[in-house]
A and B are shown apart, each in its own frame.
Chain A
């Protein structure tokens, strides 16, 4: 499954190099628990199958450790844990989405990869009223969109990988 998605992404890449606007509005979707989430495709570098993760001591619970992709050592986080949900066992459907946020590379462990969808900006609905004390996944969702009767929650990758609390910045 990862290979197919990669092929589609390669095509997108070619198109994108020709015209950056082509990427706007395209989102990589995936499944966590019962819900579907999306991340803007321009953040996504690569998708790989779940592989051996080297644990790193004394890190946040959602940071699972490090993986080795062709010599590059990349930290990975378990998105379900990040959402403060009960973690699940990794299966062979589990994938890691490698994203690049402002030159920081991080891998997102997700349960299942879904399709790449195109979304019109005007179809994105802001999430229901946010208050500061919101925890869990809602903190990272910047918008919702309905695609064929299914709601996809769109994630802000920068918020997803960073804590907003300035005290815990590296």
Chain B
């Protein structure tokens, strides 16, 4: 599985890449802009990502902006729903309106921090990203 991660906090980055590394190749970016760039690059190389993990609070572009950009690009390229990249937003913000907004904008999973690793794994299975 090809994974893209956007996380500006060093410790979280280290943790997530260790964890996700088990499931596939993990590319790391440190802000929203880098993440969108990496996403574009992978599309153009015809080796798109299967899963993107986005932090919400990041420099330059925040998680919402990155999410919007990625979904807009997919729409512009006519990528059908079922082929779109699965996006997991991770953040300490847990208010209902944040979650609703993220869902509206096309995020697949919204996970509060600290991340419940058991449920996280369950979801990866449900989304058929892992066995």
Touching in the complex, A and B, CB below 8 A? no
